[in-house]
């Protein structure tokens, strides 16, 4: 009693045992359920990766088809969710809208509070993966003042998402398959990342045994922050502010003086090149072949080159992370910056749910309740207001 370790930010404290994702930050390795991210990004699909994360193993043909069918079947949301979303301010940030509407889903599926029944848990997991693109796309259309587009279940997961975002007429929307594939790869890269801030939020809230919608909504809240998922949006704003290659040295000096951070650089775990950033760089080329090159790419590449040769970054082992190049692709796909983190959230949903599932099935897990080191006063004597004033 009374004995504890002071570890703000949990830099050295394992909060759980997990078999979902493995990272070796020194070597730049990332594996989902033992499979290297490079192989999954190259040859799998986002929904297959989602299955892998949730169920712990790759699906056979029948399992995969059933999984894709179930998720496709549940893409629609209750009409009252639409009414709920229409109540947001016209300029509400889509992440705020997503967070609130995911939390609201628990009221539409009250049975989700029964977290001990495996079938019931699976139902909510399928629903959440299925509905996240619908909610994300509607948040986007809301900010644009455009009518919400209902899901088209003839399309794939990613194509349907693009259709709900960008469809402008009654005609069927047919996205460029290369762009849909690129987005699918980006979703795979974001699908899980072990005990990051938002996974920890999901687990922490989930440890109270609340329903999974409330837990995932907490994860979305954590992801919203600029040091976590919000970094990709911040990278784009930073690149735009730098404006041209000539301004980079001055900007880097400012970073080294502590005026600001080089967004999209550095990671709590990776002390080497983030393996996801490498794959994203390749995806950049594939997307730009279709859309034309984003002019900010030149600034990003030069910034990376200068930073990787600079002692400040070398000595602190600061390398580009997943967010450094992803925003450039999102922009080329016509997403406004405030949608970038929504894309991250859609990709991360299976990971949050896999972490949540592991938590609620772990007999050793207790309600999250860290200790503190109290630094305030003790035993003061209270003086009533009339005597104090």
Would you please indicate which residues are annotated as catalytic (active-site) residues? 267, 323
Find the shortest distance in angstroms from Cβ 299 to ligand CMC.
16
As given in the structure block, the two tokens for residue 242 are: 């730098």
Find the shortest distance in angstroms from Cβ 227 to ligand CMC.
4
Give the chain's length. 389
Is 296 exposed, middle or buried (CB count within 10 Å of its CB: 0-12, 13-18, 19+)?
buried
Nearest residue (CB) to ligand CMC, 85 versus 346:
346
Nearest residue (CB) to ligand CMC, 213 versus 313:
313
Nearest residue (CB) to ligand CMC, 55 versus 268:
268
Q: Give CA–CA dist 135/98, Å, rounded.
A: 6
Nearest residue (CB) to ligand CMC, 251 versus 335:
251
Hey, CA dihedral for 129, 131, 132, 133, is it positive or negative?
Answer: positive
Find the shortest distance in angstroms from Cβ 160 to ligand CMC.
26
Q: Where are the alpha helices (DSSP H) in the chain?
A: 37-43, 46-55, 61-73, 79-86, 94-108, 118-144, 157-166, 177-190, 197-206, 212-224, 231-242, 248-256, 275-291, 296-308, 311-315, 323-332, 340-361, 385-388
Nearest residue (CB) to ligand CMC, 85 versus 280:
280
Residue numbers of the site for ligand CMC (CB under 6 A)? Answer: 196, 227-229, 231, 255, 261-268, 316, 318, 321-323
Find the shortest distance in angstroms from Cβ 315 to ligand CMC.
9
Nearest residue (CB) to ligand CMC, 127 versus 203:
203
DSSP readout, 311-359?
A: HHHHHTT--B-THHHHHHHHHHTT--GGGHHHHHHHHHHHHHHHHHHHH
Find the shortest distance in angstroms from Cβ 230 to ligand CMC.
8
- φ/ψ region of 276 (left if φ > 0, alpha if ψ in -120 to 50, else beta) reads alpha
Tell how strand 29-32 and strand 35-36 pair up.
antiparallel
DSSP readout, 32-93?
A: ETTEEHHHHHHH--HHHHHHHHHHSS---HHHHHHHHHHHHHT----HHHHHHHHTS-TT--
Q: Helix 177-190 crosses helix 340-361 at what angle (to 10 degrees)? A: 40
Rounded to 5 degrees, what are φ and ψ at 35?
-95, 130
**CB count in 10 Å sphere of residue 69:** 12
Residue with tokens 């069918």: 69
Find the shortest distance in angstroms from Cβ 271 to ligand CMC.
9
Find the shortest distance in angstroms from Cβ 308 to ligand CMC.
13
Measured between alpha carbons, how far is residue 314 from residues 166, 305, 308, 317, 325 in Å? Answer: 42, 12, 6, 5, 20
Nearest residue (CB) to ligand CMC, 15 versus 291:
15
Query: Residue with the closest Cβ to ligand CMC?
Result: 266
Nearest residue (CB) to ligand CMC, 74 versus 267:
267
As given in the structure block, the two tokens for residue 334 are: 């016509």
DSSP lists the bridge partners of residue 35 as: 32
Find the shortest distance in angstroms from Cβ 260 to ligand CMC.
8
């Amino acid at each position: 009693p009374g004995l504890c370790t002071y570890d703000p930010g949990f830099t050295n404290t394992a909060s759980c045992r997990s078999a979902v994702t493995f990272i070796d930050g020194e070597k730049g390795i990332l594996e989902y359920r033992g499979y290297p991210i490079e192989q999954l990004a190259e040859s799998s699909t986002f929904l297959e990766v989602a299955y892998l994360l949730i169920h712990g193993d790759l699906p056979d043909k029948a399992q995969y088809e059933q999984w894709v069918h179930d998720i496709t079947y549940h893409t629609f949301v209750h009409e009252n969710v639409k009414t709920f979303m229409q109540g947001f301010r016209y300029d509400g940030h889509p992440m705020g809208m997503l967070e609130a509407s995911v939390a609201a889903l628990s009221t539409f599926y009250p049975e989700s509070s029964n977290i001990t029944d495996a079938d019931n848990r699976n139902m909510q997991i399928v629903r959440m993966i299925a509905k996240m693109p619908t909610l994300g796309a509607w948040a986007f259309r809301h900010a644009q003042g455009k009518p919400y587009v209902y899901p088209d279940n003839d399309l794939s997961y990613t194509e349907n998402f693009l259709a709900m975002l960008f469809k402008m007429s009654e005609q069927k929307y047919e996205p460029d398959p290369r762009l849909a594939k690129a987005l699918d790869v980006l979703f795979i890269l974001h699908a899980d990342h072990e005990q990051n801030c938002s996974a920890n939020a999901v687990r922490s809230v989930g440890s109270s045994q609340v329903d999974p919608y409330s837990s995932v909504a907490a994860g979305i809240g954590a992801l919203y922050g600029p040091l976590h998922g919000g970094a990709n949006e911040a990278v784009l704003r930073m690149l735009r502010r730098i404006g041209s290659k000539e301004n980079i040295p001055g900007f880097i000096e400012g970073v080294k003086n502590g005026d600001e951070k080089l967004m999209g650089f550095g990671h709590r775990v990776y002390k080497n090149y983030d393996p996801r950033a490498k794959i994203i760089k390749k995806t950049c080329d594939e997307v730009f072949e279709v859309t034309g090159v984003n002019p900010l790419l030149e600034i990003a590449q030069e910034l990376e080159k200068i930073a990787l040769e600079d002692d400040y970054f070398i000595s602190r082992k600061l390398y580009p992370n997943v967010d450094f190049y992803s925003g450039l692709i999102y922009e080329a796909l016509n997403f406004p910056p405030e949608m970038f983190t929504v894309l991250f959230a859609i990709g991360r949903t299976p990971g949050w749910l896999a972490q949540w599932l592991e938590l609620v099935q772990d007999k050793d897990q207790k309600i999250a309740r860290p200790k503190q080191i109290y630094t305030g006063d003790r035993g003061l004597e209270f003086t009533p207001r009339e005597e104090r004033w």
